[in-house]
Structure 1
């Protein structure tokens, strides 16, 4: 491997440029692995410019480390570390990313609807004796019904419907 290529693909240089707290122990450099949570440094950089994490098993050269740190494809990482493109291009989301986003959105809306239903039922319970015909009572009844409808909808909707609702919500923000 040429000296220039070794320098470009040096994982220690990539780690330092990413702001990792790299420390020397003996003849090697060590850091807490940024790819998994830990308290004790387990990622080691050797004299060949390669890295290895004894915790998660990740290993490779500077391009591999860059790809893992910035979540970009290896080809993009190679272009960036060679200086052809300074700004990393994020990888395109795949089906798994979309499913995770839908599940997170659905979970958030589920929690909101449950909280709304719980609050409305508490108000109904409190007011059904003292003010069963009051405006606040009937608003709580309407809120409880709306929350129940939302929960039913969240439980029966298709993934395509969720994506449509997520996009509509994003467009209103």
Structure 2
């Protein structure tokens, strides 16, 4: 049986309905940390599939990828997205970001590339990103960044921001 986002939404709804007020707060905070819900800057909590806030109507932040405009990256982005999902799945106590952005580096011998360190993470509750202290070196994320860099060498000013799926 395959679990869909609708299944997850139904399960989470049942948990919230069954919870006491204190348990509801804890469950909601845990679901936001896990990326299964998102919190709008206005403070309202929203479901995983909601593209706009149910309270203020604001669009969900960080809901789309941003890539250099030169090419369609297709499967390369899918590989990076899957690697990021696995990275955060393996670190459940770290707050799961809505998106991750990578910087351009010229520190490697073979020219410019997307760096595995110095990433910026974005959360649905804030329009500003935060520096991510972990390095993706020697991981599937690093491998995917190498593939993208070899396909299209990044240039100064390029942006590579990828939405991180929770499911």
Q: TM-score, normalised by structure 1?
A: 0.25
Give the structure with the larger helix fraction: 1
Q: TM-score, normalised by structure 2?
A: 0.25
